[in-house]
Structures are given as structure tokens and as C-alpha cells.
Amino acid sequence: DAKTTQPTSMDCAEGRAANLPCNHSTISGNEYVYWYRQIHSQGPQYIIHGLKNNETNEMASLIITEDRKSSTLILPHATLRDTAVYYCIVIDYGQNFVFGPGTRLSVLP
């Protein structure tokens, strides 16, 4: 079973920031938080991952709470091409990824 809980769906206006939450209240100290997204008819695409500190790359920012029990993926300026299913995954090194149903993000014009 997935170790994370995400909202089923979210909407975001084009050009605005999209904030996607993920709850992982049972996370252990060695487990990373990974985010992937899957655009229709494509394979999942890696976005970002982190352990304790907040992370930022060219695609997104990852904010992890101090107790590590939840995180938020931020797409700073959402475009129509960001419409996808977003998966939050918690995993220890060497373990297999377990995907939940994810959050379906719809970016609206």
C-alpha cells in the first residue's frame, strides 16, 4: 500500500502557483519524498525529491514540513501543459516505488 495520501483532484488557474499537498504521517527518518507526474498517454516523469530540506529545481519546489509528516509540491507558474496526474511517493533507499492514485491537476485557462 502507498504510504501517502493525496487529494483526488485539484484545479489551478493558468499562470498561478499550483500547490499540491501530500500527507505521509508514517514516514521514517531514512525515507525520501519523491514526486512524479504523468501526462496523458505518457510514462511518469520525475519532478523532484527530498529528504529533510526544501528543494528547488527548474520544474518545481518541494517544501517538507519540519516533522516530515507532510510536503507540498509547488509549480510556481502553472501552464496548461502542467495538467497531469501528480504522484507523491515515500521510499527508503533500495526499496521499490509504490504509486497511489495521485492527484489529478487541471490547469484552467
Partner 1 sequence: EAGVVQSPRYKIIEKKQPVAFWCNPISGHNTLYWYLQNLGQGPELLIRYENEEAVDDSQLPKDRFSAERLKGVDSTLKIQPAELGDSAVYLCASSITGGETQYFGPGTRLLVL
The distance of closest approach from Cβ of residue 31 to partner 1 in the complex, given in angstroms and rounded to an integer, is 11
Smaller CB separation from partner 1, 42 or 66 = 42
Q: Check if the beta carbon of residue 55 is closer than 8 Å to that of residue 62.
A: yes
The distance of closest approach from Cβ of residue 15 to partner 1 in the complex, given in angstroms and rounded to an integer, is 28
Smaller CB separation from partner 1, 54 or 97 = 97
Q: Check if the beta carbon of residue 105 is closer than 8 Å to that of residue 14.
A: no
Residue 80's SS3 state is helix
The distance of closest approach from Cβ of residue 47 to partner 1 in the complex, given in angstroms and rounded to an integer, is 10
What does the binding site for partner 1 look like in residue numbers (CB under 8 A)? 2, 34, 41-46, 49, 87, 91-102
Residue 88: φ, ψ to 5° = -105, 130
Q: Check if the beta carbon of residue 4 is closer than 8 Å to that of residue 24.
A: yes
